[in-house]
Amino acid sequence: MKNIRNQKKEEKQNTPIATSYDAVIVGAGFAGMYMLHRLRELGLKVKVFEAGGDVGGTWYWNRYPGARCDVESMQYSYSFCEELEQEWEWSEKYAPQPEILRYAGYVAEKFKLRSDIIFNTRVISSIFDEDENHWIISTDRDDTVTARFCVLAVGCLSSANRPAFKNLIKFKGQQFHTGEWPHDGVDFTGQDVAIIGTGSSAIQSIPLIAQQAKSLTVFQRTANYSVPAWNSKMDSEYQKKIKADYSKLRAQARGRPSGVMFPFNFQPALEPRKEERDKIYEEFWDRGGLPFLGAFSDLLFDSDANETAAEFARNKIRRIVKNQKTAELLCPTNVFGCKRLCVDSGYFETFNKENVRLVDISTNPIREFDKDGLFVKDLKYKFDSVVFATGFAAMTGSFEKINILGRNGISLAKKWEAGPRTYLGLATSGFPNLFMITGPGSPSVLASMIQSIEQHVDWIADCVNNIVRTGAKTIEPITSFEDDWVEHVTEVSKVSLRSTCSSWYVGANIEGRPRVFMPYIGGFPIYVDRCNDVMTRGYEGFLVNGEKSDGKMPEIRFTKRWRVTLDKDVMSPADVAARNAPVL
Ligand code: N01
């Protein structure tokens, strides 16, 4: 198999580095970059280790054809620097991957970040030294450094899932994973190509691969809902209008449970009659993308309401796909939006092309590979190249790749064996001065990612600053508070239909992983309020220097910007449940 990760065979930098830091950050995606910026502003000595050859994280690796963001460009960007907001120009409504990567590079340049980042270097272990109260961090470049604080900015969807298909080793053709795509691109011209998976990555790449390849065979285990993106060139007037009052859009977005601003209909789906309901669905369909979920207020909370959206979407597929047998196979039967909703540009239309065929593997899985293809039952499918669009070991996969040992040598992997345990998705008990950005138990993937990242980074930077300023040595969650939070995350998830299916949100996309609803679904504003309260109450729920910290921390310094105003009109039942839950 082509070693995709090392396509460019980038040399490890030989740059000698110091052996002691105030903070080490793992990862230089949007989270690691902003964390570096904030900690440097505080005057700390910081080093970042990044496995990739440059900044950008997910946008560095996911270079598959058609990769683009499905949150609108004007909302998928940093908000911390007004000058940056004003000077960067997006070219499309939904930015394509190369443009987002250029944006990451631009930010790195503007804030001179690269000088403190060691690229092509993977952190392999992080071990807490209880005598010295610091972390000992080792890399695959043979660095060993110490740092008082260790921040894991490793991403939520960054550890590729490569199912162990039987006899894959026999396959002589090329293999690719969408999440580790070759930097120089892939030319499928004249090839018979197979793609396994029909999630967001597949749905974006299939139309483009089908245009190039001689033939494309799509192996589908679960059909997925997808709403058209209706992507277009950026309307310059719209961009200008947003920039004239960017802070207004940011504030509105933060007030939304999803952290994204889009039109929202307060009506429950069963209130209007069918004709009226379908008219509203059509309007939201014509707007396109994830905001379709705003067509009615209860789509993710009421099964009957959800079924109306599901049937509307299925009818779209039936109308687009000419072969009715294929159309039915493409029609999902599960809850609409339970697995993450996909956004496409011509996905279903692609199945009308003569060179594209769909193979249903829902009941008969792939049996094994062979030198020139694979078998489903006894039927052989031959191809030159195979694309694994099989997703990620979501939320926890990249933590598992690092040997993280906390107090008493306890390993994080062991602690999280039955599912991740964190306090607010920011820290975990027994692992002092270790922070995670958009960790499990925080809204992360259920809110706009860059927004979630900035809020976490600001919270962590404030926390580090307060600890350093007050001369404290360590901070770590109290186990009972963490337990309450984990329970709360689970309880709130039950209000949402999203907790009911086999998605990566619950770790069900990979056999053997614990089934736990990992992100916090109580909504971004409620979560932010909770983080603020914990801090202003003197790190309630944390031990500082091994002792309960409540009220003992003098003069907490606080980033006021994250005082969000909850948009009460768009509170979902999950938000209401979160608000009423005792832990809050
Ligand atoms: O991964 P996925 P993804 N045999 O897990 C199938 C974000 N994202 O990379 O559904 C056969 O969604 C699996 O089948 P099933 C976004 O949050 C964002 O596409 O588990 N098939 C599924 O069809 C997204 O949700 C953007 O039954 C197997 C597919 O592989 C997340 O990343 C773009 C299999 C995996 O789908 C992940 O998306 C792309 C097996 N053994 C991604 N194992 C944008 O912003 C897995 N599958 C637009």
Q: Give the residue whose CA is nearest to atom 40 of ligand 1.
A: 163
What's 311's DSSP letter? H
What's the predicted TM-score (pTM) here?
0.95
Contacts of 576 (CB under 8 A, 6+ apart): none
Shortest-distance atom of ligand 1 to CA 179: 9
Q: What is the mean pLDDT of residues 219-247?
A: 97
What's 261's DSSP letter? -
For residue 1, is pLDDT > 50? no
**CA 144 – ligand 1 centroid, Å:** 36
**pLDDT digit string, tens, across residues 139-181:** 999 999 999 999 999 999 999 999 999 999 999 999 999 999 9
* Mean per-residue pLDDT of the chain: 93
Shortest-distance atom of ligand 1 to CA 343: 48
Shortest-distance atom of ligand 1 to CA 510: 43
For residue 5, is pLDDT > 50? no
**CA 504 – ligand 1 centroid, Å:** 8
CA distance 256 to 575: 10
**pLDDT digit string, tens, across residues 420-434:** 999 999 999 999 999
For residue 86, is pLDDT > 80? yes
Position 548 scores a pLDDT of 83
Q: What is the mean pLDDT of residues 310-334?
A: 98
Give the mutation target among 340, 448, 509, 511 for probing the ligand 1 site: most ligand atoms within 8 A of CB: 509
Pocket of ligand 1 (CB under 6 A): 69-70, 157, 163, 178, 196-202, 204, 221-222, 340, 343, 361, 366, 389-392, 445, 504, 509
343: phi then psi, degrees, rounded to nearest 5: -130, 130
Give the mutation target among 221, 369, 513 for probing the ligand 1 site: most ligand atoms within 8 A of CB: 221
Shortest-distance atom of ligand 1 to CA 203: 19
What's 500's DSSP letter? G
Shortest-distance atom of ligand 1 to CA 509: 20
For residue 581, is pLDDT > 80? no
Q: What is the mean pLDDT of residues 66-77?
A: 96
CA distance 422 to 33: 23
Position 560 scores a pLDDT of 58
Q: Which residues pair with 286 in a beta bridge?
A: none
**CA 553 – ligand 1 centroid, Å:** 44
**CA 197 – ligand 1 centroid, Å:** 6
Determine how many CB atoms are found less than 10 A away from the CB of residue 50: 26
For residue 558, is pLDDT > 90? no
| Local confidence band at 4 (pLDDT 50, 70, 90 cut-offs) | very low
**pLDDT digit string, tens, across residues 353-402:** 999 999 999 999 999 999 999 999 999 999 999 999 999 999 999 999 99
**CA 238 – ligand 1 centroid, Å:** 32
Q: Give the residue whose CA is nearest to atom 8 of ligand 1.
A: 200
CA distance 67 to 483: 38
**CA 433 – ligand 1 centroid, Å:** 33
